[in-house]
Amino acid sequence: MAENRNNETEPTVNEYGEKIAPKGEKKENTAPTETKRYTNYSNNKRYNNQRRPMLPPKGVSPESFDRQQGMTANRPAQRTENSGENRPYEQRRPYKNYNSYNSNGGSKPYYGNRNYSRPYDNNRGYDQSRSYNKPYRAAEQVSDKPAPDTSVFEKTSFEKSYEKPYQRNSYDRRNNRDDNRYQGGRYRYNNQDSQNNSSRQLSAEVVSETPELDTRFSAHTNHRAVKRTPLRIIPLGGLNEIGKNMTVFECGNDMFIVDCGLAFPDSDMPGVDLVIPDFTYVEQNISRVRGIVITHGHEDHIGSLAYLLKKCNIPVYATRLTIGLIEGKLKEHNLMSQAKLNVVTPRQTVKMGCMAVEFIRVNHSIPDAVGLAIHTPAGIVIHTGDFKVDFTPIEGGIIDLARFGELGNRGVLALMSDSTNAERPGHTASERTVGASFEKLFAKAEGKRIIIATFASNIHRIQQIINKAVSSERKVAVFGRSMLNVISTAMELGYLSVPEGVIIDLETMNKYPPEKIVLITTGSQGEPMSALTRMAMNEHRSVTITPMDYIIISANPIPGNEKYVTKVVNELLKAGAEVIYESMYDVHVSGHACQEEIKLIMSLTRPRFFIPVHGEYKHLKKSANLAYAMGIPESNVIIGSIGDVIETDGTTIGITGKVQAGRVLVDGLGVGDVGSIVLRDRKHLAEDGLIVAVATIESESGTILAGPDILSRGFVYVRENEEMMEAARDILRKTLESCLSDGVRDWNSIKSGLRDSLSDYIYMKTKRNPMILPIIEEI
């Protein structure tokens, strides 16, 4: 600030544009005596109760600045003692007054107030070299300070780099009113332009070819687009299908796996028990695999883990309940002695070589479900796992939306989101709505035995069933091997609260009247060997369905299982039982997020790229449409397939290759021995049946000693088609004699001739193509 000094070089106008009286003249003071603040003193010093006036910020005229302070330009001295305590201009701008009153009413130096080490000298004028942006940047550093880390693992160098707040160059919107683009991590000023305040032009580090998409999406993402070490995301399952979820993350010389699940066989897989991913790529790179991360304990995420650990002994990281369920599966395969199981908690971070995995609590239909924040050199990738947003969960806390938001503020490279319910609008209902429905249904079932079929892993629902059984003074019996295993594990680990004496053995169930019993069983999907299906078919050795049964199917049919569920319901109704299975009774809520919840995660994380996962193609496409609606460009959304190598370097993303992937069929103890050829033969047998043609030939002379004889299985009933079978024998005999007379001794050629001749005749008579197996015995 300029002051009036008695010297020759005194300027005639001060910094406020006010005229200064020349030497020898006295400037007229129009301010009242009691509020004088700008009086010159002979000793050129200020008293403690005097304050320096604020200078206007750059680009603001003194008159406008004074009006914002509640003064007029020609009366700068009309300020009250309390005017500095409530100044509207200072409240909405980060610039602070040079002096502010302390508690004693005295002056407090500005630099002391901001904790600067160098005190302000009252005898020295304002230093013009000090920028107004310094206190603004200091405040920005404080506000951008990352949340305290809760990891018990050592952090990598790139992870520590994320904690450093990104220093954006100051942006003066007053000088760039025509440019409304987002000033986030994607843009920076050129060095030359930043030095020249009069001319500032934005230089985009990465922009797409369509300007309108840049403008739309630049306000959505907070990711800093800088080229870094490439990250490869390789889905080995879970895309374009339901189940079999498995994804490989690869960066540099390090790899780790997310989930290792199974799928159940389709109707075109006769005789197949389970379907697991193809582990070939993992086996080929086993030396680079640092571990397996499991998001939750459902079969489609842990079911094939035992088959992988038989080939590769890899450390496994999961939450407490998930580890407990994994232990049960490993015991069945005798792998507990060699397995490396590690229990983690939400907000904990695990190192995976040059990458790190942070666990984030989410809500699902099973407790202890987590999403993942994968910190990589290319950026942060968020994998939601299976999730929904439930603000009133039965057990545990709500989804950690705050952490998703913190990561979004830091900058998210890519979001991999659950797409199972992407077709459903709105929000997924809370699990507590099912409890309210049970309350009403238990009241309606008074005097009857209650049988409830649900998913074995839905511990939240089992807890509510037990609570209602206790309140209605009923005992609980459990049916189904998987149901017994899950309930015992959950009780042992404290995830299921059951009063003593409520759960009874099957042997003691008959000691109680039916109206005092609740049966919890498997079979909500109509599985042929499940307990409920055997009850419906009257094949269960302990339970017989009667008109005194009140049956609740607390699940929605998985796509493809509708006809099996309908068959079970029909049989239960024929037995006279009352069956509740319609969705109108609210006996089931999904564990997956609907459209509005997916949008919520997108808005919190603000990813640069979006990769929908967990669903058939229609689900992935619908999830991608939600991303487009949220402002993510179509070029930044990747709908992949199993085996695709999705690669990103922090600026671009694309499918750059393919690895061996697919499905491996498990039949009994055989893993992979049932391939496409075996499945083709099984379907062939199921559709058209089998014909076996047997003949005996003397090796030296080549004469036919016996046959050809024909055996039929699944083709026609021989006794009712003897004429056709006799004609088929004659055709085989003529074909065999013709081959032998021509000197053909290659049995494969003879078998091929027999097969072709018989197949042509059978098709001409029946228009069917049974499987034909010629067998030649040589003596």
Cα–Cα distance list, 685 to 679, 749, 769 (Å): 10, 23, 10
418 is catalytic: yes
The tokens for 645 are 């190598």
CB atoms within 10 A of CB 164: 10
Cα–Cα distance list, 180 to 173, 183, 599, 604 (Å): 8, 9, 24, 22
Q: What is the DSSP letter of 637?
A: B
User: What is 528-559 written as a DSSP string?
Assistant: TTSHHHHHHTT--SS----TTEEEEE-SPPPT
| Catalytic position from the list 418, 549, 644, 667 | 418
| Catalytic position from the list 592, 614, 644, 667 | 592
Helix runs in 270-363, H state only: 280-284, 299-302, 305-311, 320-332
C-alpha to C-alpha distance for 47 and 40, rounded to whole angstroms: 11
SS (H, E, C) 197-223: CCCCCEEECCCCCCHHHHHHHHCCCCC
The verdict on whether omega for the bond into residue 135 sits within 30 degrees of 0, i.e. cis, is no
Q: Which residues of 614-645 are buried (b: 16+ CB within 10 A; e: fewer)?
A: bbeeebbebbbebbeebbbbeebbbbbebbbb
Residues 6+ apart with CB under 8 A from 743: none
Cβ–Cβ < 8 Å for 630, 603: yes
Any idea which residue has 């015995």 for tokens? 777
Residues 6+ apart with CB under 8 A from 549: 448, 449, 450, 451, 514, 575, 577, 578
Helix or strand holding residue 612 (H, E):
strand 607-613
SS (H, E, C) 664-689: EEEECCEEEEECHHHHHHHHHHHHHC
C-alpha to C-alpha distance for 387 and 313, rounded to whole angstroms: 29
C-alpha to C-alpha distance for 519 and 452, rounded to whole angstroms: 6
C-alpha to C-alpha distance for 661 and 670, rounded to whole angstroms: 19
Please state whether beta strands 231-237 and 316-318 pair in parallel, antiparallel, or not at all (unpaired).
unpaired
Q: Which residues are catalytic?
A: 418, 592
